[in-house]
Structures are given as C-alpha cells and as structure tokens.
Amino acid sequence: MSSIKDRQRAAARARLEKEMAERSAAARKRRQRQATLGAALVVVIVVAGTVWLVNGLGSDDDPGDGPAAGAPGTTSCVWNPDATGNPNLKDLGGTPPTTVPNIGTEVMTIDTNLGPMQATLDLSKVPCTAANFAFLASKNFYNNSKCHRLVTEGLKVLQCGDPSATGKGWRETDGSGGPNYRYAEENLPVDKKPPYPAGVIAMAKTQEPNSTGSQFFIVFGDTDLPPQYTVLGTLTKGLEIVQKVAAAGHDDAFKAQAGGGHPKMETLIKSVTVVKA
C-alpha cells in the first residue's frame, strides 16, 4: 500500500503531464492558425497584385479619373474611345502617347487669318492636355478650321477647335466635331475668382466628366463659369485679335441653344504648333 507522499507525488505528476499535454495542444493549434493565416496573406497579396495589374493596364472602356503618376518627370494619360457614334469625329489612326512629360513648359502658337496668338503651357498642370494639343497639331488637325461660336452676352468667349466647321458654309452641326477619343480634365480653377479671366484658353467639354477633346475657348473678358473646364494656359500674345472679333459681333445662330452665334468676322485657324519653351 503506497504512502500518502507517493500518492501526492503521483497526483502532482499527473497534473504536470496534463498541463504539458494542454500546452502542446495549444502550441499545435497556434502553428495551424499561423500556417492558415500565412496562406491567406499570400492569397490576398496575389489578388491585390492582380487587381493592381488590371487597373494599371486599364481597358478601352475605362473612363479613367484623370492623369496618374508615372516614372519621375512623367504622367500617365488615358485616352478613351468616343462611343457616342458622332459622325463628325475624326479618326486620326491613333492617340497621343500614354506617358508624357510633366516638367517644363511649351509654347503653343495658333496662327490665324487675323494674326498669331500664343500661350505658354505649364506641363506640371496640364501634361495630358498639352500632349493632346501637340499630337493634334502634328496631324494638322486644326488646319483651316473656323472658330465657330462667339458669345458676348454673359459669357465672353470665342470657341474653336471643331474640324467639322471647315465647310463652305456654316452648319447647325458646328460644335460637335473632334477626335475619336476623350480624356480627363486637368487644372480646374476651383479656387479662382473669376475662374476664367480674360486671356485664358480653356477646353470645352460636355457635362459629363472625362469628356475633353479638341475644342477650346478663348476668354476675351472675365467669365464666371463653373470650374469644370481645363485651363490650358493664358495668352501672352493675340488677345486683341479675339477682342476685335468680339467687337464685330455674331449672327445669333445659337441663340435658341447654347447662346451666341457664328462670329461675323471670320476667324480661321491656319495651323497650330506646340514647341518646347
């Protein structure tokens, strides 16, 4: 018959063995959870990498949210096909580059039948819009196109950049032409009063976002528009030309629609050039 001390030692040994077994089981469960968590993290990383890759590549139907950062000194631009079926759009056999510089300045010259106009483009503010102008200019897109709309009441703008406004006579479709792609707005004057002062060149668009194309308007008097239109730059030469066109008036052709009309003083863009400053 065992003594009391033997029974106590046996009980203590049993408790120790039970505790060690529980600790071993807990450690095994921890290892299993860690292994499961590690596998889950790998899945998350793989999925996240796939999403990043898909978003990075984009698609022709992706409307885009504006320029994205590229390599140092560059910006990534998205050129979206226009799917409206507009017959007045021009197929240029391609689009501007998708990676463009965002450092430095360029000088844009608009040579018209009334004289040249010039503006400096800041690539840190409008990298994609400047690239678009350079691309269109290289394709002679603007050559021999008329500035088709003048507004002198409320707004003070001369609108240009529609290649369909090149016919022998004015048409009701003037203002609907452009390239067969669209892109996002840049450099919106949300903190400026007025947002579009005299001398500014800004991009026309529809009411939808990411709908900028080739058309632009030159502001000849301070204009209070919603800050939804890309400010391309400010004229350094030629504002007096636009003011002279405005003084000659318009024919009220668009009075019942968007306002204004064809300028009575014909303004024909002979060519557009964009060069590094």
In the predicted structure, residue 207 carries a pLDDT above the cut 80: yes
- Where are the strands (E) in the chain, listed by range? 68-69, 74-76, 80-81, 89-90, 99-101, 105-112, 115-122, 145-146, 149-151, 157-160, 178-179, 181-182, 200-203, 216-219, 231-237, 268-276
In the predicted structure, residue 103 carries a pLDDT above the cut 60: yes
Count of CB atoms situated within 10 Å of the CB of 239: 18
Instruction: Please provide residue 89's backbone torsions phi and psi, each rounded to the nearest 5 degrees.
Output: -85, 150
Asked whether 199 and 234 are in contact (CB, 8 A), the reply is: yes
Threshold 0.85, pTM exceeds: no
Which segment of 13-17, 24-28, 58-62, 210-214 scores lowest on mean pLDDT? 58-62
Whole-angstrom distance, CA of residue 107 vs CA of residue 210: 25
Find residue 112's DSSP bridge partners: 115, 269
The string of pLDDT tens digits covering residues 155-173 is: 999 999 998 875 445 454 5
pLDDT, residue 192, reads 94
Work out the percent of the chain whose per-residue pLDDT is above 70: 71
Torsion of CA 193, 224, 264, 129, to 10 degrees: 70
Q: What is the mean pLDDT of residues 125-151?
A: 96
Whole-angstrom distance, CA of residue 84 vs CA of residue 260: 25
Asked whether 236 and 120 are in contact (CB, 8 A), the reply is: yes
Asked whether 160 and 215 are in contact (CB, 8 A), the reply is: yes
State the chain's mean pLDDT as an integer.
81
Whole-angstrom distance, CA of residue 104 vs CA of residue 122: 6
Instruction: For the chain, give percent helix, strand, coil, nearest 5.
Output: 25, 25, 45
190's CB contacts (< 8 A; 6+ apart) are: 227
Whole-angstrom distance, CA of residue 196 vs CA of residue 206: 17
pLDDT, residue 240, reads 98
In the predicted structure, residue 34 carries a pLDDT above the cut 50: no
In the predicted structure, residue 47 carries a pLDDT above the cut 70: no
Whole-angstrom distance, CA of residue 186 vs CA of residue 212: 10
pLDDT, residue 71, reads 79
Q: What is the mean pLDDT of residues 250-265?
A: 89
Q: What is the mean pLDDT of residues 138-166?
A: 92
Domain segments of the chain as ranges: 1-57, 74-276
DSSP secondary structure letter of residue 115: E
Q: Tell me which CATH homologous superfamily contains domain 74-276.
A: Cyclophilin-like (2.40.100.10)
pLDDT greater at residue 53 or residue 207: 207
Highest mean pLDDT: which range of 16-25, 39-48, 157-166: 157-166
pLDDT, residue 258, reads 76
Whole-angstrom distance, CA of residue 127 vs CA of residue 60: 20
Burial of 101 (0-12, 13-18, 19+ CB in 10 A): middle
pLDDT, residue 256, reads 84
Whole-angstrom distance, CA of residue 179 vs CA of residue 162: 9
